[in-house]
Chain A
Amino acid sequence: MSDGHLGPMAPKEIASSALVKGEAAPAVRVKDLSFSWPKGSFRLKVKSFEVKAGERVFISGPSGCGKSTFLSLIAGILKPNQGEIFIDGQNLASKSGPKRDKFRGDKLGFIFQQFNLVPYLNILENVILPCRFSKVRYDSATRAAGSPAQAARALISRLELGEDLLDRPVSRLSVGQQQRVAAARALMGRPPLLVADEPTSALDADLRLSFLRLLAQECREAGSSLLFVSHDRSLAGELDRAVDFNDLNET
């Protein structure tokens, strides 16, 4: 069923919007990045990596290879020892801690492996959460749908979560539903980049593909780039490009 949504019309839109932007900054551009934990022996070195605006990239690699550290650097949680990380045209590596936090709230949507939701908020409140910390996302959602709540409702229904779930405590959702709520939250206010860190690994095999397709489709719809990290290579073909993390990391 989701195949129907991935019709041939959508790529055209992306292509045209990329054209309109012309020299639109890439969603991610990493140059000569190096990072090592203060005490540990672990080192990360990425010479060059780029995700174009609107591009959806699959990154694969075994666990413990440094994917999470790489994502923390892109998210601005960690600061690199050397190199540059441009997100939507701005260099994260030169920003202070609180600025990186604000930047993350404005520009990035996250989906984690599991337990993505704040337990004491209902579904609607969870989805709106980014708008509470970022004015940029708030304004964007308001422009798109009239209000963040409206935007959240729209996203929830697009992600095939019934209206009747809206007020339900998140603890009573299935894992698949939880991940879709997390996707809706990440997409709120159409951030330039979505980062999904093993979002399907807690799902049953038959749900993984449909979740990935739904996510990819909604990213295209929102015009957001997607960085999808998974150790499950069988999904790699679903996105615009697939990268093996071991090829990225030069240590």
Chain B
Amino acid sequence: MKRFATLVGLALKSAWNRRLTLFLIVLSVSLATILLVGLERVRGQVRTAFLQAISGTDLVVGARGSQIQIILYAVFHLGGATNNMGWDSAQKIAQRSEVAWTIPISMGDSHQGYPVVATTQDFFKHFRYRRGMELKLAKGREFGDIFEVVLGSEVARQLNYELGQSLVLRHGLGTVAPEHSDKPFTVVGVLASTGSPVDRSLYINLESMEAIHIDWRGGAPIRGFTISADRARKMNLTPKSITALLVGLKNRRQVFNLQRELQSAPGEALSAVMPGVALDQLWRILGSGEKVLWLVSILVTATGLMGLISSVLAGLGERRRELAILRSVGARPFDILTLLSLESLALTVAGVLIGLSILALIIALLGPIISEAYGLVIELSPPTAREGLLSLAIIVAGYLAGLVPAIRAYFLSLGDGLSLSL
């Protein structure tokens, strides 16, 4: 024990004595740590944001189709549904005894590239994201009347819209489709930032959606036939169909039963998707990009450790004398091995600690900016288990890398003995 303490002391003093040379090694280990742990932090947050884009919703129901497609348009508001589901089907589901609430969603229009979601006030009441977080209004109020629109936080920020702003929706998702310019909307509210797809959409009620399409057929205005906004107001605006229905149950255990019943029920062909399961599947597809990033950061780490090996190896020549002195006072060749590997260990630990500190600083400084710009919440927090494990892995790898020069020193000191060949 005492001998080990001696070796630790010698290793630290020796490293400190060559601190200028070793500084670069420590720096490269720090960079590798920042990259690896930082990537893990971002990956974890992206994954969380993705998998928790929707929460509390037990089933997403849409016209018969692929699970992933339903999730893409109902949760991420991406792309359009190829088929709609009937309003009467939605009503029937909403009236079932095991259903606590439903949120109907109707899509297909856009504004400046941002999707427009037509829904009801139940959306504000029941929609949850990230472990049961509720939607909050940053400004204004929920939509009430038709031709009123509530903006997601990112839409408001990017387009620089304030309450009272008048805007026109475009039919479809492109930028060349015709606009509903005869029926402008007024911004009445802006949602608080959620870090979820909610931020990137505009919200109107189902009747508004119906109203702007009342004089349209087959995706285009009917030539020579227009119904003014005021006249549309007075007409029956109950939708005939919607894109999807988010369903919350009174008792979550009934989800499998209900899913089976909905999918096999006679009448309209429906698909009912459990969002958690589908999001997992989707992440497995999308997440493959992260593997490339992983590979790159592992290569950077390996490069850093190669630098460690080569620097310590290069310094060995000058240290043969020092090692011979230690041998002369009773150090075993194994002590020399320990001394050298402890040095690499000290360098790696220093590098990892410095790297983690710099990363914390980066997160503290840039976190709010990233959160503001990308809706990705990256907060200063103690390292997660995975991050801790990752840091440990770097240290272990550094120690193993340090064994290369240490073993070389072992054999050198076996051969050199006390002869200081000058």
B333 A97 Cβ-Cβ under 8 A? yes
Contact A101-B322, Cβ < 8 Å, known A72-B419, A113-B422, A133-B3: no
Cross-chain contact B327 with A97 (CB below 8 angstroms): no
Q: A121 in the interface, Cβ–Cβ < 8 Å? A: yes
Of A10-18, A103-111, A142-150, the stretch lying at the interface with chain B is A103-111
Report the bound CA distance from A110 to B324 in whole Å: 11
- Contact between chains at A114 and B418 (CB < 8 Å): no
A77 at the A/B interface (Cβ < 8 Å)? yes
Is residue A112 within 8 Å, beta carbon to beta carbon, of the partner chain? yes
Which residue of chain B has its CB nearest to the CB of A110?
A: B328
- Closest partner residue, chain A, to B325 (CB atom): A118
B85 CB → nearest A CB, Å: 77
Once bound together, how far apart are the Cα atoms of A135 and B3, in whole Å? 10
In the assembled complex, B374 has its CB within 8 A of some CB on chain A:
no
Bound-state Cα–Cα, A98 to B410, Å: 13
Given A75-B418, A110-B418, A112-B420, A120 and B17 contact (CB-CB distance below 8 Å) = yes
Chain B 409-422 against A: per-residue CB contact (8 Å), 1 yes, 0 no?
00000000111101
Q: What's the nearest-Cβ distance from chain B to residue A16, in Å?
A: 31
B76 on the A face (CB < 8 A): no
User: Is B419 a contact partner of A129 (Cβ separation < 8 A)?
Assistant: no
Q: Taking the complex as formed, is B332 at the interface, i.e. its CB lies under 8 A from any CB of chain A?
A: yes
Closest residue on chain A to residue B328 by CB atoms: A110
Residues of B within 8 A of A119 (CB): 17, 322
A117 at the interface (CB under 8 A from B): yes
A132 part of interface (Cβ distance < 8 Å): yes
Q: How far is the CA of A71 from the CA of B6 in the complex (A)?
A: 27
B325: contacting residue among A104, A113, A116, CB under 8 A: A116
Q: A153: which B residues are within 8 A, CB to CB?
A: none
In the complex, per-residue mask of A120-160: 1 if CB is within 8 Å of any chain B CB, else 0:
11000000011011110000000000000000000000000
Task: Give the chain B neighbours of A72 by CB distance below 8 A.
Answer: 417-419
**A42 interface hit (Cβ, 8 Å):** no
CB distance from A103 to the nearest CB of B (A): 8
On whether the beta carbons of B418 and A101 are closer than 8 Å, the reply is: no
Q: Which of A105, A106, A108, A120 contacts B13 (CB 8 A)?
A: A120
A116's closest neighbor in chain B, by CB?
B325
Tell me the chain A residues, 31-45 only, with Cβ under 8 Å from chain B: none
Please tell me which one of the listed residues A97, A106, A115, A185 contacts residue B321 in the complex, with CB atoms under 8 A apart.
A115
Are B420 and A113 in contact, CB atoms less than 8 angstroms apart?
yes
- Say yes or no: is A102 at the interface (Cβ < 8 Å to chain B): yes
Question: B422 to A114, Cβ gap below 8 A?
Answer: yes
Range of interface residues on A (Cβ < 8 Å) = 20 to 34
- Interface size in chain B (residues, C-beta < 8 A): 28
Q: How far is the CB of B100 from chain A (nearest CB, A)?
A: 71
Q: Are A105 and B329 in contact (CB under 8 A)?
A: yes
The answer to whether A77 and B329 touch (CB under 8 A), given A115-B321, A119-B17, is: no
Query: Is B330 in contact with A134, judged by CB distance below 8 angstroms?
Result: yes
A121 neighbours in B (Cβ, 8 Å): 10, 13
B294 near A: Cβ within 8 Å?
no
Task: Give the nearest-CB partner of B421 in chain A.
Answer: A68
On whether A98 and B332 interact (CB within 8 A), knowing A132-B6, A133-B6, the answer reads yes
Q: Is the interface of B mostly helix, strand, loop or mixed?
A: helix
Is B283 in the interface zone, CB < 8 Å from A?
no
**Any chain A CB within 8 A of the CB of B66?**
no
Distance in angstroms from A216 CB to nearest chain B CB is: 20
CB distance from B12 to the nearest CB of A (A): 9
* A133 and B331 form a contact (CB under 8 A): yes
Q: In the docked arrangement, what's the CA distance between A123 and B333, Å?
A: 24
Is residue A78 contacting chain B, with contact meaning CB distance below 8 A? yes
Q: How far does the Cβ of A77 sit from chain B's closest Cβ, in whole Å?
A: 3
A129 to B322, CA, bound (A): 12
Complex CA–CA separation, A78 to B419 (angstroms) = 11
User: How many Å from the CB of A213 to the closest CB on chain B?
Assistant: 23
Chain B residues whose C-beta falls within 8 Å of the C-beta of A101 in the assembled complex = 327, 330-333
A170 to B325 alpha-carbon distance, docked (Å): 14
In whole angstroms, how far apart are the Cα atoms of A94 and B326 in the complex? 23
Kindly supply a per-residue 1/0 record for chain A positions 175-212, scoring 1 wherever the CB is within 8 Å of any chain B CB and 0 otherwise. Answer: 00000000001000000000001000000000000000
Instruction: Return the CB mask of B1-17 against A: 1 if under 8 Å, else 0.
Output: 01100100010011011
Q: Which residue of A lies closest to B326 (CB)?
A: A118
The answer for the CA separation of A197 and B328 in the assembled complex, in Å, is 12
Q: How far is the CA of A114 from the CA of B324 in the complex (A)?
A: 12
Q: Which residue of B lies closest to A104 (CB)?
A: B330
Q: Does B334 contact A (CB under 8 A)?
A: yes
A108 to B13, CA, bound (A): 25
List residues of chain B with CB within 8 A of the CB of A114.
420, 422
- Complex Cα distance A77/B415, Å? 9
CA distance A112 to B164 in the complex (A): 90
Nearest CB in chain A to that of B9: its residue: A132
Docked complex Cα distance between A119 and B318 (Å): 11
CB–CB B329/A75 < 8 A: no
For A117, list chain B residues within 8 Å (CB): 325
B330 touches A115 (CB 8 A): no
- Residues of B327-351 contacting chain A, CB below 8 A: 327-335
A106 cross-chain contacts in B, Cβ below 8 A: 330
CB-CB under 8 A from A98, the residues of chain B are 332, 334
Q: Given that A120-B16, A120-B17 are contacting pairs, would A133 and B329 also be in contact in the complex, using a CB cutoff of 8 Å?
A: yes
Residues of A within 8 A of B327 (CB): 77, 101, 104
Q: A105-B329, A118-B322, A130-B330 are in contact. Are A77 and B417 (CB under 8 A)?
A: yes
Q: Mark B280-323, 1 if CB is under 8 A from A, else 0.
A: 00000000000000000000000000000000000000000110
**Given A112-B420, A133-B3: A102 and B325 interface contact (C-beta under 8 Å):** no
5 chain-A/chain-B pairs, Cβ below 8 angstroms: A72-B419, A113-B420, A115-B422, A121-B13, A133-B3
Q: Which 3 A-B pairs have the closest CB atoms?
A: A105-B330, A120-B17, A77-B417
